[in-house]
Amino acid sequence: MNILAVTAASILFLLCACSHEPVHESYTEPQHSGVDRSPHRTAEAGPSNHPSSTQFHTNLLSQINHYRARSGLKPLSIDKRLTTIAKGHCSDMNRSQMLSHRNFQQRFEQSGHTTCVENIANGYRNPKELFEAWRNSDGHDKNMLEKDIRLAGISMDGPYVTFFACDNRARSHSAKARVTYDDHSKS
């Protein structure tokens, strides 16, 4: 393996998108041909490369809300419960050093909402860079522009970021749901 290949692999940035919409009860992960669905191991970026967590998620939400407004959609409000859910997922990814939507169904159930979406990332140095990457990825873009979402939780733990957003409707016990994933890598 040459030095260029090793360097390119070491600066690989990854993104993943996930959404949850009401449809049917059972959880099955859809199959997407040509998409690598395995968890991705990535190099950890040093903490000095990131602004404070609070500053990062405030600026990221601002970017997302300006984009939603330009698209004729309502802005998202930070929700304490969804932030706690996002924080837990970020901590899990940082602890395992794996970018993954693992246990999305559990986060959806914990939210108590009828529609939720999730974008995750690793290694982005600032909110604008991350927002632009998500905007230029069909699955992530679709999640940011989901018309039904109104509440969001954003968290950063080390180099990992989770954006977890839901509608403002409480789910009844009989709600049915379907999960769809759109995994995407950025190099």
Residue whose token pair is 């169904």: 105
Distance CA 36, CA 11 (A): 19
**Alpha-carbon gap, residue 40 to 31, rounded angstroms:** 17
Residue 3 has pLDDT above 50, yes or no: no
DSSP β-bridge partners for residue 141: none
Q: How confident is the model at residue 161 (pLDDT cuts 50, 70, 90)?
A: very high
Task: Give me the chain's average pLDDT, please.
Answer: 74
Write out the two tokens for 61.
Answer: 């939400």
| Length reported for the chain | 187
Give 90's Cβ-side CA count (13 Å radius): 25
Res 22 pLDDT > 60: no
The per-residue pLDDT for 34 is 29
33-80, pLDDT tens digit by residue?
222 322 233 333 333 344 577 889 899 999 999 999 999 999 999 999
The four Cα atoms 89, 91, 94, 100 give a dihedral, to 10 degrees, of: -10
Q: Say how far apart CA 55 and CA 52 lie, in whole Å.
A: 5
Query: 150 or 53: whose pLDDT is higher?
Result: 150
* Phi and psi angles of residue 122, each rounded to the nearest 5 degrees, phi first: -145, 130
Residue 71 is predicted with a pLDDT of 97
Give CA separation, 174 vs 25, 110, 177, in Å.
9, 15, 10
pTM of the model: 0.71
